[in-house]
Amino acid sequence: MQQQHEDTGFAIRVGLLAVIAFMSWPVWMAIVAGQRSFTMAVAWSAAVPVLLTLMVPFVAFRCAERIHHAATRLEHTLHIDTFVHDHMPHRHA
């Protein structure tokens, strides 16, 4: 297993994201309380707090890195990694 070094900057970013995510719910509830009826637009407006809340564990568990690693491993297993990377447009900095 890999040893994870202590990264206080990462912990602070995750903590701030968690605070923003969980504080978005009372704001959303205050907005909903001011509406006369609960419409689909009001229901869809909950997408922002929901996505922010779901981002907390996604970021905390470094899921993006794991998904990228798994996709790279799958490409290599299927022997399509050279095909995929040779046919993708190249980005230049």
Percent of the chain, pLDDT > 70? Answer: 81
Query: pLDDT, tens digit, for every residue of 25-56?
Result: 999 999 889 888 888 988 899 999 999 898 88
Quote the mean pLDDT of the chain. 81
pLDDT at 69: 85
Amino acid 71: pLDDT: 84
Taking the C-alpha atoms of residue 80 and residue 82, their distance in angstroms, rounded to an integer, is 6
